[in-house]
Each structure stands twice: as C-alpha cells, then as structure tokens.
Chains A and B, each alone.
Chain A
Amino acid sequence: MLAELKRSWMVVFVKVRMKFEKGDEVKYISHLDMMRTFERSLRRAKLPIAFTKGFNPRPKLTFSQALPVGVTSSSEFVDVEFNEKVEIDDVICRLNKYLPRGFLVKYADFCNNDFPLHMLNCAKYIAKIAINKNSQIDIEKVISNILARKQIIIEKQSKSRKRLIDIAPLIYDIYIKEFKDEICLLCLELSIGQDGNVTPEMLISILNENLERNVSILLINREEMYLREGEKITYPL
C-alpha cells in the first residue's frame, strides 16, 4: 500500500513539444483525424503516453491551430505528455518510424507551460499560384490596395449562421516572393487562433475578385507559426 502510494507520488509527467511536417500525402487529413493518427502512432511506437484522469481517459496531446484541409505545412506543433522519462532523440526516432508517410517530426524538446500553443497568433504561408505572365503589375497593385484598406468585410459561414467579419486587422503582410514563368510565389502572413482566422484561400479569392484574369492555386504551404506582439516575434520551439 505504501509502496503504491509512493509510486503514484513519483509519477512525473514529462511534456515534449514537437515540430512536425504535414506533407502532400496527408494534406487532406482533417485536424481531428490527425489527432487520432498521432495517438495511434504514439501507441504503435510504444511510447509511454500520459492519459487524462476520469471516466474516459484520453492521451494528453495538444496541437497547434488547425491547418486548413488541403494545405501542407512545414511547421506544425504538438505537445505530448509522457508518464515517465524519455529521451528526445528516441522519441523523434521511434515516432517517425510509426507515423504514416507524410508526417515527419523534425525537432523536439522538453517544454514547460510558459508558452502554451494556443498563444500562437500568426502563420506565414507560401501560396504557389498560376498567373498570366503580363499580370505581375496588376497583382502587385491589387495587393498594395488590399494592404492599404482599413476595412475588408467578408461573409463567413459558421456551422449555423453566416456572419460578416472585418479581416483587415487580421492581415499582417502579403508580398510576391518570386514571379517566374507564369508561376507566382505569394507570401502571406495571416492571423490564426483566438484573434481570428484568415485562410490563404480567403485572401486569394479576394485577389480574384479584383483581378481581371483569375489566378488559380497550385499549392499552399504553411511555413511558420509564431506569436506576434507588434513587431516582436516569438517562436514556440
């Protein structure tokens, strides 16, 4: 009895933050399905996951803000709690072995509760779009126009109702990174999380409303996620 008690006192929860990639193969996996995939992969990897207390124990996993379905990412985060000591390299190596192809843990480290993932409020995307070769000037104009606007009202469909929101304060930056052979790499820095969510697709449809010839999206990738406070940027890992 005493030994039991002692052991339960000694249980230390170890929290590990991982940065991972969500590639082309798995870009259609929804956030919820991805959560399940990680749970199962951790179990396959025989890693000592900690569970929530209560009637229906769940593995203790916390993910960064959901990625739109169809978008790849080089920078997603998950916090995993373990109920015994783990080696970071071992966790990365074993988890990568058991994750489906398309998911790849690139980096991990122990973490505390100082900077929970829900504080992330900004994401940077690169959108590869197909565009008419003479439209570079047009698109540059439209972009600076959008950035200059004080208010951009769009209609957002939530589960039950439509509502109007102003996305102007949620756009941090848009610029053309590269323009070559009718392919344009567009860089978008947009708000995520509690302040409001703007997806790259929403912005590209605004672009299209203002362009004579429509651009079409070839690929979108989330490059980075961070906490932005004015000009100060903090990365989660």
Chain B
Amino acid sequence: MKISQIVDEILPRVSKPTRYLGNEYNSIHKDLTNIKTRIALAFPDLYEVGMSHLGIKILYHLLNKYDDIYAERVFAPWVDFEEIMRERQIPLFSLESRTPLTSFDFLGFTLQYEMSYTNIINMLDLADIPLYSKERTSEHPFVIAGGPCAFNPEPLAEMVDFFVIGEAEEVILEIIESYKKFKKTGKERQAFLEEVSGIPGIYVPQMYDVVFNDDGTINRYIPQKPGIPQKVKKRVIRDMDQVYYPTDFVVPYMNIVHDRAMLEIFRGCTHGCRFCQAGMIYRPVREKSVNRLYELAKEIIASTGYDEISLTSLSTSDYSDLKNLIKILTEEFETNKIGISLPSLRIDAFSLELANKVQEIRKTGLTFAPEAGTQRLRDVINKGVTREDLLLSVSKAFRCGWNSVKLYFMIGLPSENQEDLEGIASLAHDVIDVYKKINGNTRGLKVTVSTSTFVPKPFTPFQWECQISLDEIKNRQKILKKLLKNRNITYNWHEAKLSFLEAVFSRGDRRLGKVLEIAHKKGCKFDGWNEFFCFEKWLEAFKEAGVSPEFYIYRRRSLNEVLPWDIIDAGIDKQFLIRELKKAKKGIVTPDCRVNNCHACGIKKIVDGGFCESKNEI
C-alpha cells in the first residue's frame, strides 16, 4: 500500500490531523517527472512551531521558484502519529507529496534551539536514515543543517553531512548547482562533500580531525586535505532590497504559534547586549527600504488573506524610518481591519505615538525586556535601559489605556547578586505603583514577570563564562517567587534543568554526539515540551557516554582556549569579544555603533569592501 493511502487511513485516529495534510493554501505541489533535485526542509518540532519560523518559509518559496527543484516540508510528528508510523512501518515522509525522506537528495534541518537535537535524531531514525554521516550511502540524502545553532555545529558534527553557516538564500542555490554537476559524474558521496567544502559558508565536519588535550579541551582542528578552509566564514546577504522575499506564504488551516503575515524589516542588531548571540551573529544591520516593505506587505496580504501583519526583526524600534513605515502601513490596511503587530519593541526607543497608531486598529500586549534588575547589572550586560526609561514608557502606556505589561528578565547573569534579584521585584512593584498613581487603584492591571536562566552562548562576550548551578537557579527562582507575591503579578520561570542542558549543548564539542544518541535511545524527544522532558534519562546518557556535563557548564574558559566553534568565523573579532568582556567586568557600557563610534567588532572585514551602518570609522 502506498504511504498516501496509509496516511489517509491513519488520519482519523490521530490528534490534529491537519498537521499532516500538506495541502494548505499556497502550498506547492509539483509534477515529479520534471524534478531533478528534491530537498526536504525539516523543522525538528511540531507543525505549529515549525510553520511559525520565517527561515524555512523563505527557503521553501525560494527553491520552488525553480522548475527543476522541488522543496517540501517535514516536521516532527506528534507522539500518537509516531506510534502508528512505527507500528505500521511507515518511514517519515514529506508533507506535500508524501514521499519517504530517503528518496530526497537533501534533508535540511534548521537548528533554532539546542533542545530540538533529540528530535533531529528521532526524525532521522523514523526516516530510516543512518544517524552517523559516515554510515550513509548513495541510498541516502545529504543531511544538512543551518540556523543560529549551526554557529556551534560541533555537537551534531558526526550526524550532519555539512552545515550552512550564515544566511542560506544564496548558498543553497550554489549547493544545488554543485550537486547537479556531481550527480552527472556518478562519483562517490565523499566526492560531493569535498566539493562543497570549497563553497564559502559550508562546513563539512568530517573533513577535520579534532585533537584534544589531556584536560579535555581542544588542542586544534586539522583539515584533512589541502584546500579545506582553516575557518569557515559565514555567508551574508548584502542587499536586503534585492534579496528574494516570498509573498505567497503557505496559510495553515490550524492555529499555529505565529499565525500572521511576517514582514521582515531588517536583519542584525548593533545594541551589543553582551549575553545575546543573535545580536552578534546576525550582524551587520541591513534594512529593507520603506518602499520595498510597502510593496511586499500589500502582496503578502493579497496572497494570504491574513488579518495581521507582524514586522519582524531583532529590535523593531531600531528601524530607521519606523514612524513613516507604520504610517504608510496603517493607512493602507485600516479599512480592511488588518492589524499591525510590533514585536521586539525596545523600551528605550519605545514611542507612545507608534504604539497608539497600531492600537487604533487592534490592541496588543506590551512587552518590555529590562533583562536585569539593577542599573549596575544592566551596565554589565550592556543593556542600555534605565529604570526611569521603563517607568516613563509604562506610565505613558497606562495613560493610553493599556493594562497588561510583560517584563522579561534573566537570572544567573555574571556577577548577579541578591540586590539584583530584589531589583527585579522592585521594578515590578514600581510598575504597579505607576498604575495606581494613574488609575487610583490596581483593578484590571496584569504584570507578568518572566525569568529565563542565563546560558552562555558562542560568539558573545560571555562565551567564556559559566552558568550558575542547578541548585542556585532553583534558589534564585524561589527568592523571586517570594518577592513577587502580589495579586497583580504573575511570575513565570524557565525550567532550570532545561537551561542546564542548553548550557551543555550550546558550547559543546563533538563528544556530545554520543550523549545525544544514547539520550534518544532512552526515549528523549520533544525535550522542550514539559510532558516529555526527563532529566534523569539525560543524566544517565551523560554517564554512559562518559561525558561530564559539568565540564561544559561550570568551567570558566581561559581566553586563549581553543573553543569548539573557533572553526567558524562569524565575522566577530575575538579581540572585540575580549574587550567587551573586560568592560563588562568593570561595568562600562558600549554604546550602539549606529549612533556612536565604531567599536571594531570585525564585521566590516567579512565581506570584501565591508559594509555596515556604523556612523564613524575608528
């Protein structure tokens, strides 16, 4: 029986069958006879999570512009579906044509968060694709991966055939060109891996030997052949107005996490928060023009029928002409009641006028991210926000009738102490006081405080730092729970054990592959989902693999240690990161280079001729 028929038979028995239909409006269905290259774009989580991710949408529509390429989607099936698949021996298949993944030329995973790694392994297993790169043959697709976590590719080095570092829009087509040539030669799989290792931005882990020191740290990476790059430089799109952007997005039937049109307004961020990886690896800042955005917005709404358009970027308020953009968009969409949402607004640049404009159409919640409770610690992390900024913005918002505010903080940041924790609580209480002053009482007010735990990330000034211990995380959460007891405050915190594992994998090396394999065998999957996360199994997996998680979490690296991600060149100069770390220790802030001096982060050197928006040369 064909997969398609079996799936039809199964669908009535699983929860949310619309996840597996693959025939949503704007989904692409091609005649397979004319297709030369097939690529499965995989998001290692549920449909509703994966369908909310912009990167996969861009690649899907970009690749499908070409007549001889067919890109299809695949997501992690939910456990009920997986159970039936295993029982009836159905291999993991693509959504659109329901083809087993083994029939594809490429299987590309996007790596958005470390805790999805076991889902990747589970999906390979479901697809009948060998877990380790070296065990695959001409019968199998090339397993590739990209996304933010690919900036430290090492934990998946033995499973992924090659990584795409940086922005994939250009390089993906170069890979396919190279593949077409390779296919004609009829050479071995290995030959193609050698070939692509020469494409800028491609990292082929098996082309490198890693030599370890006796203390477990890395001694060096040795390219196995001449011509293999010593460092893999990330790829960067130069012109955001010229680069392809889809307008005919697939419109899901079911309610997904971000169920709205996404309009990417710019990439990169120059605020330089010292804990933030995105702020470093997505440099330089590149904007789309207002005109281009206006045209795109109209086309997207016309072809999707969405009633909401979200301006996406790392920090919306940094868009240089935001006021004008919002004016144009609200004028265009007002009559059709299409809302505009502005996520990632920064409080220091928060403008009452903008929020009000958006509110005319639809009211959305307000989110602020002070990240730390005291000015001292905010200076350490270079979050240039003051208590006065926050309270002023909040009071303006309350005066305009908002009554729900979310505050995001991080606990466990380097040098955090009791005072900083108390600072989180007092900020929340200050917000309540502001509301009281304006409205006379606290009726209707909702303040949500969320804390995540600091995870040191590669390519940030804090990449050499350690995470606080599990007990300490729990202790600090307990302190906050006590301090935030108030009927207007809801306190949410991130699961400590998840942060612990994130910290291991975000800065891990190749030896962690074994841990992932064992953890998966023990049944770990959907680790980000509370109902499945089992920390004990993970601890067993570490033990059996002979790997100590503490080595990765609690060890402060020396500045001259060879780091697992040193094989990657993210365009950020290590000396810049060291300077930033030293300034952090002294509590000295580094102002935004778009309004201040260039701080020589190194990004100018990544592309010939250099381009970035820093106002002044040094």
Q: Tell me the A residues contacting B by CB distance below 8 Å.
A: 25-26, 28-30, 32-33, 36-37, 39-44, 46, 51, 55-57, 69-70, 98, 100-102
| Shortest CB distance B570–A (Å) | 39
Closest partner residue, chain A, to B302 (CB atom): A44
A100 contact from B11, B24, B255, B303, Cβ within 8 A: B24
Select B11's contact among A28, A39, A102, beta carbons within 8 Å.
A28
* B residues adjacent to A (C-beta < 8 A): 11-12, 17-18, 21, 23-25, 251, 253-255, 301-307, 336-337, 362-363
Report chain A residues within 8 Å CB of B255. 32-33, 36
Question: Total contacts A to B, CB within 8 angstroms?
Answer: 58
Contact A40 B251 (CB under 8 A): yes
Given A39-B305, A40-B305, A40-B307: 7 more A-B contacts, CB < 8 Å = A30-B254, A41-B305, A43-B305, A44-B305, A56-B363, A69-B17, A70-B11
* B residues near A40, Cβ cutoff 8 Å: 25, 251, 304-307
Asked, given contacts A40-B251, A57-B337, whether A28 binds B21 with beta carbons under 8 Å apart, the answer is yes
Q: A33-B253, A40-B251, A57-B337 are in contact. Are A100 and B305 (CB under 8 A)?
A: no
Closest 8 CB pairs of A and B: A40-B305, A44-B305, A43-B305, A28-B17, A100-B25, A33-B253, A70-B12, A29-B253
**Closest chain B CB from A37 CB (angstroms):** 6
- The residue that B336 contacts in the complex, of A28, A43, A56, A69, with Cβ under 8 A, is A43
Residue in contact with A33 in the complex, picked from B18, B307, B363, CB distance below 8 Å? B18
Q: Please state if B23 and A51 are interface contacts (CB–CB under 8 Å).
A: no
B21 & A51 in contact (Cβ 8 Å cutoff): no
* CA gap between A30 and B301 in the complex, in Å: 23
Q: List 13 A-B contacts (CB under 8 A).
A: A28-B17, A28-B21, A30-B254, A33-B253, A33-B255, A39-B307, A40-B25, A40-B307, A42-B305, A43-B336, A44-B303, A55-B363, A98-B305
How far, in angstroms, from A69 to B16 measured CA to CA in the complex?
10
Closest to B14 in A: A28
The smallest C-beta distance from A143 to any residue of chain B, in angstroms, reads 24
- Closest beta carbon of chain A to B77's beta carbon, Å: 15
A57 to B337, CA, bound (A): 7
* Residue of chain B at shortest CB distance from A45: B305
A149 to B24 Cα, complex, angstroms: 45
CA distance A43 to B302 in the complex (A): 8
Chain B residues with Cβ under 8 A from A51's Cβ? 337
User: Which residues on the A side are within 8 Å of B24 (C-beta)?
Assistant: 100
Residue of A nearest to B305 (CB): A40
Query: Which residue on B lies nearest to A28, using beta carbons?
Result: B17
B247 to chain A, nearest CB (A): 12
B400 to chain A, nearest CB (A): 14
Shortest beta-carbon distance from B254 to chain A in Å = 6
Max chain A Cβ within 10 angstroms of own Cβ: one of B303, B305, B307, B337: B305
Q: Note all chain B residues with C-beta closer than 8 A to A44.
A: 302-305
Min CB distance, B252 to chain A, in Å? 9
Complex contact B304–A33 (CB within 8 A): no
**Chain B residues within an 8 Å CB radius of A41:** 25, 305
Q: Which residues of B have CB within 8 Å of A70?
A: 11-12, 17
| Nearest-Cβ distance from residue A45 to partner chain B, whole angstroms | 8
Q: How far is the CB of B392 from chain A (nearest CB, A)?
A: 26
The residue that A25 contacts in the complex, of B17, B23, B254, with Cβ under 8 A, is B23
**Docked-complex contact A43 and B301, CB < 8 angstroms:** yes
Return A200 CB to nearest CB of chain B, in Å: 13
Least CB distance from B444 to A in Å reads 14
Chain A CB within 10 Å, residue with most, of B12, B301, B306: B12
CA distance A37 to B23 in the complex (A): 13
Residues of B with C-beta under 8 A to A102: 23
A235 → B minimal CB distance (Å): 29
State whether A101 and B254 are in contact (beta carbons under 8 Å apart), knowing that A40-B306, A56-B362, A57-B337 are contacts in the complex.
Answer: no
B contact residues around A37 at 8 Å (CB): 25, 253
The minimal Cβ–Cβ distance linking A212 to chain B, given in whole angstroms, is: 24
Please report the C-alpha to C-alpha distance between residue A55 and residue B307 in the assembled complex, in whole angstroms: 15
Residues of chain B within 8 A of A28, CB atoms compared? 11-12, 17-18, 21
Name the CB-closest residue of B to A42.
B305
Query: Nearest Cβ in chain A — how far from B84, in angstroms?
Result: 15
Determine the chain B residues whose CB is within 8 A of the CB of A32 once the complex forms.
255
A residues within 8 A CB of B363?
55-56
Q: Which residue of A lies closest to B21 (CB)?
A: A28
A32 to B17 Cα, complex, angstroms = 14
B424 CB → nearest A CB, Å = 32
Within 8 Å CB of A26, what residues of B?
253
CB neighbours of A43 from chain B (8 A): 301, 305-307, 336
Q: How far is the CA of A37 from the CA of B25 in the complex (A)?
A: 9
Taken together as a complex, chains A and B put the C-alpha atoms of A29 and B306 apart, in Å, by: 18
Query: Which of B24, B337, B362, B363 has the largest number of chain A CB atoms within 10 A?
Result: B337
Q: How far is the CA of A30 from the CA of B18 in the complex (A)?
A: 9
Chain A residues lying within 8 Å of B306, measured Cβ to Cβ, are 40, 43
Q: Which residues of A contact B21 (CB under 8 A)?
A: 25, 28
Contact residues in A for B12 (Cβ distance below 8 Å): 28, 70
List residues of chain A with CB within 8 A of the CB of B307: 39-40, 43
Q: Which residue of A lies closest to B362 (CB)?
A: A56
Interchain nearest-CB distance for B588 vs A (Å): 47
CB distance from B227 to the nearest CB of A (A): 50
In Å, the complex CA distance between A101 and B18 comes to: 14
A33: chain B residues within 8 A (beta carbon) = 18, 253-255
**Cα distance A36–B362 in the bound complex, in angstroms:** 18
Instruction: State how many angstroms separate the Cβ of B256 from the closest Cβ of chain A.
Output: 11
A-side contacts of B11, CB under 8 Å = 28, 70
Give B363's nearest chain A residue, CB to CB. Answer: A55
Tell me the smallest distance from the CB of B411 to a CB of chain A, in Å.
Answer: 35
Q: How far is the CB of B596 from chain A (nearest CB, A)?
A: 42
Q: Which residue of B lies closest to A46 (CB)?
A: B302
- Residue of B11, B306, B307, B362 most packed against chain A (CB within 10 A): B307
How distant is the Cα of A120 from the Cα of B599 in the complex, in angstroms?
Answer: 71
- A153 CB, nearest partner CB in chain B, Å: 26
Which chain B residues lie closer than 8 Å to A100 at the CB level? 23-25, 253
- Residues of A with C-beta under 8 A to B305: 39-44, 98
In the complex the two chains form, is B23's CB within 8 Å of A29's CB? Answer: no
A28 to B306, CA, bound (A): 21
CA–CA, A28 to B11, complex, Å? 8
Bound-state CA distance A32–B304 (Å) is: 18
User: How distant is the Cα of A41 from the Cα of B304 in the complex, in angstroms?
Assistant: 8
Give complex CA distance A98, B336 in Å. Answer: 17
Closest to A24 in B: B8
- What is the chain B residue whose CB lies nearest that of A51? B337
Complex CA gap A29/B18 in Å reads: 6
A43 vs B307: C-alpha distance in the bound complex, in angstroms? 8
What chain B residues lie within 8 Å of A69 (beta carbons)?
A: 17
Could you tell me the distance in whole angstroms from the C-beta of B531 to the nearest C-beta in chain A?
Answer: 20
Q: Which of B253, B254, B307 has the most CB of A within 10 A?
A: B253
Closest to B301 in A: A43
Task: Give B336's nearest chain A residue, CB to CB.
Answer: A43
Determine how close the nearest CB of chain A comes to the CB of B104; give it in whole angstroms: 24
Q: Chain A nearest CB: distance from B259 CB in Å?
A: 8
A115 to B546 alpha-carbon distance, docked (Å): 73
- Tell me, in angstroms, the Cα distance from A44 to B456 when the chains sit together: 45
Q: Which residues from chain B contact A36 at a C-beta distance below 8 Å?
A: 253, 255
Q: How far is the CB of B96 from chain A (nearest CB, A)?
A: 13
Complex Cα distance A51/B336, Å? 9
Min distance, Cβ A57 to any Cβ of chain B, angstroms: 5
Query: In the complex, which residues of chain A have a beta carbon less than 8 angstroms from the beta carbon of B304?
Result: 40, 44
B23 cross-chain contacts in A, Cβ below 8 A:
25, 100-102
